[in-house]
Amino acid sequence: MAATEEQQFPLPKILTYPASAPPSLIAQGAEGRLYKTTHLESGLPCALKYRPSKPYRHPILDARLTKARIAAEAKVLDRCYREGVRVPAVYALDAAAGWVMIEWVDGKPVRQGINDWLGERPEDGTPAASEDETPLVDLMKRIGEAVGNLHRTGVIHGDLTTSNMMLKPWASRPSNAGDKAKAVEGDIVLIDFGLATQSSSDEDRAVDLYVLERAFASTHPRAERLFCHVLDSYKPSYKKAPSVIIKLEDVRMRGRKKSMLG
Ligand SMILES: Nc1ncnc2c1ncn2[C@@H]1O[C@H](COP(=O)(O)OP(=O)(O)OP(=O)(O)O)[C@@H](O)[C@H]1O
């Protein structure tokens, strides 16, 4: 880590111990920072999510909030992992110190994979007549299944976007697909559970889908018409999914009304 970066973003104590590789700052958000580092004992690459204290908050409230948020995120991740949802495993946690250490997911965000696929496609998103869109459609289906799996366990993500999904390359399926198809290959791993809650209500699940639908339309307007494949594969993914899709129509209607009223 560069000296100036270190002054601007002082490391949490856990990252000041000697390790096989120095930590690197991957992302700096409004709430926290994400470092790539290695697990102290096993040397495995991992991600350390750190929520530094906020000087503008009352210290007691700040300590309580930080601890509660890190603990809540770790708890949800752990629950998902044990239920077989593809999320990073939790390796270690110190909620009072504001960090959780999780599995490092090799790969790239789904957002980047889709954009790499779309490449130079025109604004209206029409593919060339000769283009076989199957790999992209398959990715959309895997997204629907991943969200369905998550909802099946009673977890609402709260911030579903294609940036909060990683594409982890398939290790056991050596691919002979072309470069373009490779851009959208891989298992979906859901990340960033900072806003996650536990709920099994149709309404909460439908809102989670709606958030994804809106985010998808604004991030990938050229692929918007393919979002139906996400819903198609979500529908059979667990028993209550069909009623969630029906509820989604109400949520959309409310969304439209709200945007008309400003
Ligand atoms: N387990 C991981 N393995 C590899 N990269 C990750 C992992 N978790 C997060 N990242 C990368 O770091 C970025 C930021 O992570 P994340 O979204 O969890 O943090 P955040 O946006 O700061 O969280 P919050 O929204 O809760 O404040 C992600 O977009 C992703 O590129």
CB of 28 sitting under 6 A from ligand 1: no
Residue-wise pLDDT for 103-133, tens only, equals 999 999 999 999 999 987 777 767 776 678 9
Residues in contact with 131: Cβ distance below 8 Å, sequence separation at least 6, in sequence order: none
Q: Is pLDDT larger for residue 114 or for residue 20? A: 114
CB of 191 sitting under 6 A from ligand 1: yes
Give 61 Cα–ligand 1 centroid separation in angstroms: 25
Q: Of 151, 50, 35, 40, nearest to 100 (Cα)?
A: 50
CB of 47 sitting under 6 A from ligand 1: yes
Q: pLDDT category, 16, cuts 50, 70, 90?
A: confident
Q: pLDDT category, 7, cuts 50, 70, 90?
A: low
Give the residue, by CA position, lying nearest to ligand 1 atom 4: 105
Residue 67 has pLDDT above 70, yes or no: yes
CATH class of 108-261: mainly alpha
Give 192 Cα–ligand 1 centroid separation in angstroms: 6
Neighbours of 45 (CB within 10 A): 15
- Give the CA count within 13 Å in the CB-facing half-sphere of 106: 5
ipTM for the predicted complex comes to: 0.93
Give the separation between CA 224 and CA 229, rounded to whole angstroms.
Answer: 10
Residue-wise pLDDT for 142-187, tens only, equals 999 999 999 999 999 999 999 999 999 997 666 666 778 899 999 9
User: What pTM was estimated for this model as a whole?
Assistant: 0.91
Give the separation between CA 43 and CA 91, rounded to whole angstroms.
Answer: 12
CB of 158 sitting under 6 A from ligand 1: no
Per the structure block, which two tokens stand in for 134? 């199957």
Query: If DSSP codes are grouped into helix, strand and coil, which group holds residue 113?
Result: helix
In angstroms and rounded to an integer, the radius of gyration of the C-alpha atoms of the chain is 20
Which residues are annotated as catalytic? 159
Give the residue, by CA position, lying nearest to ligand 1 atom 1: 104
Q: How far is CA 173 from CA 129, 166, 181, in A?
A: 29, 18, 14
Q: Which long-range contacts (CB under 8 A, 24 or more apart) does 28-34 make?
A: 31/69, 31/194, 32/98, 32/194, 33/9
Q: pLDDT category, 227, cuts 50, 70, 90?
A: very high
Q: Where are the domains of the chain?
A: 3-103, 108-261
CB of 248 sitting under 6 A from ligand 1: no
Q: Which of 24, 26, 33, 161 to mutate to test the pocket of ligand 1 (most atoms within 8 A of CB)?
A: 26
CB of 88 sitting under 6 A from ligand 1: yes
CB of 29 sitting under 6 A from ligand 1: yes
Atom of ligand 1 nearest to the CA of 193: 26
Give 43 Cα–ligand 1 centroid separation in angstroms: 20
Residue 102 has pLDDT above 60, yes or no: yes
Residue-wise pLDDT for 186-205, tens only, equals 999 999 999 999 999 999 99
Q: Is pLDDT larger for residue 6 or for residue 60? A: 60
Residue-wise pLDDT for 27-64, tens only, equals 998 889 999 999 877 779 999 999 998 888 999 999 99
Q: pLDDT category, 262, cuts 50, 70, 90?
A: low
Residue 3 has pLDDT above 60, yes or no: no
- CATH H-level, domain 3-103: superfamily: Phosphorylase Kinase; domain 1 (3.30.200.20)
Give the separation between CA 183 and CA 68, rounded to whole angstroms.
Answer: 37
pLDDT at 18: 73
How far from each other are the two terminal CA atoms of the chain, in whole angstroms? 45
Per the structure block, which two tokens stand in for 234? 């979500």
Burial of 224 (0-12, 13-18, 19+ CB in 10 A): middle
Give 239 Cα–ligand 1 centroid separation in angstroms: 30
Give the separation between CA 178 and CA 176, rounded to whole angstroms.
Answer: 7
